[in-house]
């Protein structure tokens, strides 16, 4: 098959992806081969493809395609995450645009709209991954709320509850006032935020609820919560406040009396050393309140608005109330001063709303024992984190794991399987039928309508932590009769996980916990952490900055192979990626290089009986050795997950060595034929190069591979074996490199002296250089004769321990060259004298900045080197 003059990626990519799907090339079934398994980090069902997805899924696809070519049974399982908070927000927004409020719907009505939205939008990102070339086993596509996966999640909850690890209780939680749900500590992002310290006067009470002239100054960042204060706290060692023991103070504006208490938690040298204690709206204050049995006064509702318990500004938003209260405090004489302050404030990862500490009854999972086992899996080396620096991050998380708040105040998600009897007794079972049976064991008179199910759903991560297990066989803990099926027994544990370090605890650690608990095995052997994709200025990509390109637009413009190559060229494990579109252009150029090089080779006329030249024989020998050495290096890079290093080695081998050197050395003269042996070797090299490139650039390699020969129906480069390295002669490769340096040196002389490219030169080589490589130098440098010595004008250069001289007789006007060199020499000597005069000036040296002096010394060194080179040239002339 003859290639078109120009590579058209859109035509080639659409054709081959359809062909791969038609022939089910991505599908895997258990067999006798070694399995290689990857599960996709399930993107949110709300998601559309962004550059982070491009990086992650390109890496996954490279690994899975490489495994196929290594003869393994490769299985890449795709799917999506139901993303409770994000999806519910999308559905609520859509309903609002139609004039429908969630509050006006029943749970069933809302979920009907949610499922409709999911069916309409839920598969978009998976379709987009196909444009990238992702070779997922689409027959195995899963969704975290598929019925069988949801059943496994519910069974997991019941299992841990009956094991005593899940409990229901009041705790201070992170409340998202936009999403209207509690979120876990791991879903809170702390950002340094410009804030203020408000110094307030709390007047001491006379004991009858009236203020005295004495007061305490309290510093707070949240004046809008003073109405919820339960006490003022000082350190018992702080002698400044011993006189306040047994006293009470009045809360500004509302004049409610609160006691002065003592607790070691207060830092004497922070602020004024007096702390307002607000147990309902601060986690540390809550702990103090528990120790001192203080009342809990909640003045903020689920929206972050003031409740009637606040007594003032009822219904106002917390931040609006802050401004108004500050003005009221100033007017009342309670505001002493306001200082600017930078504070680490918690934001919701999902909505970017400022988190509100809130006392709430939630469901929690104890993690202490699970975390210990998960830490051991990494510390023992069973699971390898790449790069290794993330072991410290992982260890920190595991050693400081708090109980996991697993309930969410949402409707979209797996509903918590807890049912309440009329007296408040709770039963936890997998189904309503089982719950009724358990309830009747407590009270035989219970009817179905007497039971009410918990309104909350489970945290999305409570389903995705089962992902490496549930995509193959949703296990139901507590059901010993449910044995792992054939798929789970064969594909689990999976091989590698590629993900971002931002979810190391959200997802990676929890999957390790789940695998150890339910499978008594690790879920994967290696975790490869990517970096964050940033723009070329180092900024995180965002819609606000407008610096995040649409991957589909890039694919349309440059082709998927170019986008894949461009992303990988600039990515290394764990390091952030500075994306620049020029890298994708480089990928497109590489596609063009591959395409045109095959068009060149396939266009040569072949003489099967032709005699191989000595230069061609040596070139074939050289590239065969070089190919083997590079394959060894590439395999080593892959084994250490240095994927961009493997790619660069292949890239340079093809562009710099095969195209720029090898093809130039063996290509026939214009109008002449190439001998059959050299041609077959050249085609063989090209075939191996395509196979090395294929995991990164699957489309163009498939197209050219089919163009190289007639293939049987169903044959694909995808299942060809990875090229294997043979023995190679390192000494020969070193000698050939010296030959190439000599060729480059001769070409440099030709360019410097403006000798026409078709004019043959003579060359004198003095020193140890293999005689057998002279034919290579002769062809590539157009050397007609190797002479033992040089008389007359010449230009010399050194390669290692070998001196090379090019006679110039007949090519240059010696006298004119001497005149030019002498003129340049005089100029350089005058320049050097000027620089040395400046460096010898004591006033200059005493007052000039170090950088200026350093620059002058560099000028001196450069001038000396130039003078030495000119003197050598003059001598040769």
Helix (H/G/I), strand (E/B), else coil: 518: helix
What is the pTM assigned to this prediction?
A: 0.84
Query: Are 265 and 293 part of one and the same domain?
Result: yes
Query: Are 750 and 837 part of one and the same domain?
Result: no
Task: Work out the burial of residue 145: count CB atoms within 10 Å of its CB; fewer than 13 is exposed, 13-18 middle, 19 or more buried.
Answer: buried
Residue that terminates a domain, selected from 711, 740, 764: 711
Query: Are 819 and 791 part of one and the same domain?
Result: no
Query: Are 854 and 793 part of one and the same domain?
Result: no
Q: Residue 872 pLDDT more than 80? A: no
Q: What CATH number has the domain bearing residue 280?
A: 3.90.740.10
Query: Are 696 and 795 part of one and the same domain?
Result: no
> pLDDT-derived band of residue 519, with 50, 70 and 90 as boundaries?
very high
Which candidate, 23, 24, 148, 159, places its Cα nearest to that of 488? 148
Q: Is residue 682 assigned to a domain?
A: yes
Query: Are 196 and 342 part of one and the same domain?
Result: yes
Q: Is residue 623 assigned to a domain?
A: yes
Q: Is residue 300 assigned to a domain?
A: yes
The Cα–Cα gap between 839 and 856 comes to 7
Query: Are 843 and 791 part of one and the same domain?
Result: no
Residue 369 backbone dihedrals phi, psi, to 5 degrees: -70, -40
**Mean predicted confidence (pLDDT) in 517-531:** 96
Q: Residue 51 pLDDT more than 80? A: yes
The Cα–Cα gap between 637 and 652 comes to 15
Q: Given CA atoms 186, 191, 193, 199 in this order, what sign does their dihedral have? A: positive
Q: Is residue 106 assigned to a domain?
A: no
How many domains in the chain?
A: 4
CB 435 within 8 A of CB 421: no
Residue that terminates a domain, selected from 306, 327, 355: 355
The Cα–Cα gap between 367 and 661 comes to 60
Query: Are 758 and 863 part of one and the same domain?
Result: no
pLDDT tens figures, 376-413: 999 999 999 999 999 999 999 999 998 999 999 999 99
Query: Are 784 and 819 part of one and the same domain?
Result: no
Strand partners, 521: none
Helix (H/G/I), strand (E/B), else coil: 728: coil
> pLDDT-derived band of residue 544, with 50, 70 and 90 as boundaries?
low
Residue that terminates a domain, selected from 711, 744, 760: 711
Query: Are 621 and 703 part of one and the same domain?
Result: yes
pLDDT tens figures, 164-174: 999 998 888 89
> pLDDT-derived band of residue 543, with 50, 70 and 90 as boundaries?
low
Q: Is residue 557 assigned to a domain?
A: no
**Mean predicted confidence (pLDDT) in 550-573:** 92
Q: Is residue 342 assigned to a domain?
A: yes
Query: Are 822 and 741 part of one and the same domain?
Result: no
Cα 440 to Cα 7, 417, 418, 447, distances in angstroms: 73, 17, 15, 8
The Cα–Cα gap between 193 and 344 comes to 6
Q: Is residue 380 assigned to a domain?
A: no
Residue 588 backbone dihedrals phi, psi, to 5 degrees: -65, -40
Q: Residue 347 pLDDT more than 80? A: yes
Query: Are 744 and 659 part of one and the same domain?
Result: no
Q: Quick one: which H or E segment has residue 689?
A: helix 676-693
Q: Given CA atoms 744, 745, 746, 752 in this order, what sign does their dihedral have? A: positive
Q: What CATH number has the domain bearing residue 671?
A: 1.10.730.10
Q: Is residue 628 assigned to a domain?
A: yes
Q: Residue 297 pLDDT more than 70? A: yes
pLDDT greater at residue 851 or residue 677: 677
Q: Which domain holds residue 846?
A: 815-876
Q: Residue 824 pLDDT more than 90? A: no
């Amino acid at each position: 098959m003859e290639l078109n003059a120009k590579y058209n990626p859109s035509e080639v990519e659409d054709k081959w992806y359809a062909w791969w799907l038609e022939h089910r090339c991505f599908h895997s079934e258990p067999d006798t081969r070694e399995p290689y398994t990857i599960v996709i980090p399930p993107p949110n069902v709300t998601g559309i493809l962004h550059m982070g997805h491009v990086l992650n899924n390109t890496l996954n696809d490279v690994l899975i395609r490489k495994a196929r070519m290594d003869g393994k049974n490769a299985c890449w399982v795709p799917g999506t995450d139901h993303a409770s908070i994000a999806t519910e927000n999308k559905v609520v927004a859509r309903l609002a645009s139609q004039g429908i409020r969630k509050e006006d719907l029943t749970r069933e009505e809302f979920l009907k709209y949610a499922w409709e939205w999911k069916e309409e939008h839920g598969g978009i990102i998976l379709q987009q991954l196909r444009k990238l070339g992702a070779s997922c086993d689409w027959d195995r596509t899963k969704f975290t709320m598929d019925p069988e996966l949801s059943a496994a999640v519910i069974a997991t909850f019941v299992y841990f509850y009956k094991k005593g690890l899940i409990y229901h209780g009041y705790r201070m939680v992170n409340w998202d006032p936009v999403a209207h749900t509690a979120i876990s500590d791991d879903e809170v992002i702390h950002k340094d935020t410009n804030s203020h310290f408000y110094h307030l006067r709390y007047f001491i009470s006379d004991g009858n609820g009236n203020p005295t002239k004495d007061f305490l100054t309290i510093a707070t960042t949240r004046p809008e919560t003073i109405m919820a204060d339960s006490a003022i706290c000082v350190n018992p060692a702080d002698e400044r406040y011993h006189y306040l023991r047994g006293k009470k103070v009045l809360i500004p504006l509302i004049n409610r009396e609160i006691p002065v208490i003592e607790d070691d938690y207060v830092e004497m040298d922070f602020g004024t050393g007096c702390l307002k204690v607000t147990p309902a709206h601060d986690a540390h204050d809550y702990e103090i309140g528990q120790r001192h049995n203080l009342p809990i006064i909640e003045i903020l509702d689920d929206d972050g608005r003031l409740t009637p318990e606040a007594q003032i500004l009822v219904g106002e938003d917390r931040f609006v109330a802050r401004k108004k209260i500050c003005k009221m405090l100033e007017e009342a004489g309670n505001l002493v001063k306001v200082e600017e302050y930078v504070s680490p404030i918690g934001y919701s990862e999902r909505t970017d709303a400022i988190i509100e500490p809130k006392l709430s009854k939630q469901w929690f999972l104890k993690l202490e024992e699970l975390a210990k086992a998960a830490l051991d899996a990494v510390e023992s080396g069973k699971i390898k984190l790449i790069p290794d620096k993330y072991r410290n991050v992982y260890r920190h998380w595991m050693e400081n794991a708090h109980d996991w708040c697993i309930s969410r105040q949402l409707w979209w998600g797996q509903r918590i399987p807890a049912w309440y009897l009329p007296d408040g007794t709770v039963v936890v079972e997998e189904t309503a039928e089982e719950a009724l049976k358990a309830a009747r064991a407590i009270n035989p008179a219970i009817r179905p309508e007497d039971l009410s199910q918990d309104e909350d759903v489970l945290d999305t991560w409570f389903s995705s932590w089962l992902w490496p297990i549930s995509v193959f066989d949703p296990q139901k803990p507590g059901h010993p009769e449910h044995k792992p099926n054939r798929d789970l027994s064969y594909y689990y544990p999976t091989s590698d996980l590629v993900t971002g370090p931002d979810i190391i605890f959200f997802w990676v650690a929890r999957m390790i916990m789940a695998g150890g608990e339910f499978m008594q095995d690790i879920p994967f052997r290696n975790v490869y952490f990517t970096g964050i994709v940033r723009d070329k200025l180092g900024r995180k990509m965002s819609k606000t900055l407008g610096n995040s390109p649409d991957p589909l637009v890039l694919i349309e413009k440059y082709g998927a192979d170019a986008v894949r190559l461009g992303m990988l060229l600039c990515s290394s494990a764990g390091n952030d990626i500075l994306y620049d579109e020029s890298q994708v252009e480089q990928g497109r150029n590489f596609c063009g290089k591959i395409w045109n090089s095959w068009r060149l080779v396939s266009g040569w006329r072949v003489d099967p009986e032709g005699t191989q030249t000595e230069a061609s024989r040596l070139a074939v020998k050289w590239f065969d050795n070089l190919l083997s050495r590079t394959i060894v290096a590439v395999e080593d890079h892959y084994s250490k997950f240095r994927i961009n290093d493997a790619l660069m080695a292949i890239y340079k081998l093809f562009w710099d060595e095969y195209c720029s050197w090898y093809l130039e050395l063996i290509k026939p003269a214009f109008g002449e034929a190439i001998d059959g042996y050299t041609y077959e070797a050249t085609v063989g090299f090209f075939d191996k190069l395509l196979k090395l490139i294929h995991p990164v650039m699957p489309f163009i390699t498939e197209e050219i591979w089919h163009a190289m020969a007639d293939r049987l129906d169903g044959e694909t480069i995808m299942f060809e074996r990875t090229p294997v390295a043979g023995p190679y002669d390192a000494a020969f490769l070193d000698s050939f490199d010296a030959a190439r340096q000599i060729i480059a040196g001769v070409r440099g002389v030709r360019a410097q002296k403006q000798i026409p490219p078709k004019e043959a030169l003579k060359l004198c080589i003095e020193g140890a250089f293999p005689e057998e490589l002279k034919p290579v130098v002769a062809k590539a440098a157009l050397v007609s004769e190797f002479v033992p010595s040089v008389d007359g004008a010449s230009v010399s250069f050194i390669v290692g321990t070998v001196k090379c001289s090019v006679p110039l007789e007949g090519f240059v006007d010696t006298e004119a060259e001497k005149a030019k060199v002498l003129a340049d020499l005089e100029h350089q000597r005058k320049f050097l004298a000027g620089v040395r005069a400046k460096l010898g000036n004591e006033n200059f040296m005493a007052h000039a900045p170090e950088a200026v002096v350093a620059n002058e010394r560099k000028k001196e060194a450069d001038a000396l080197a130039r003078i030495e080179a000119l003197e050598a040239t003059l001598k040769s002339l």
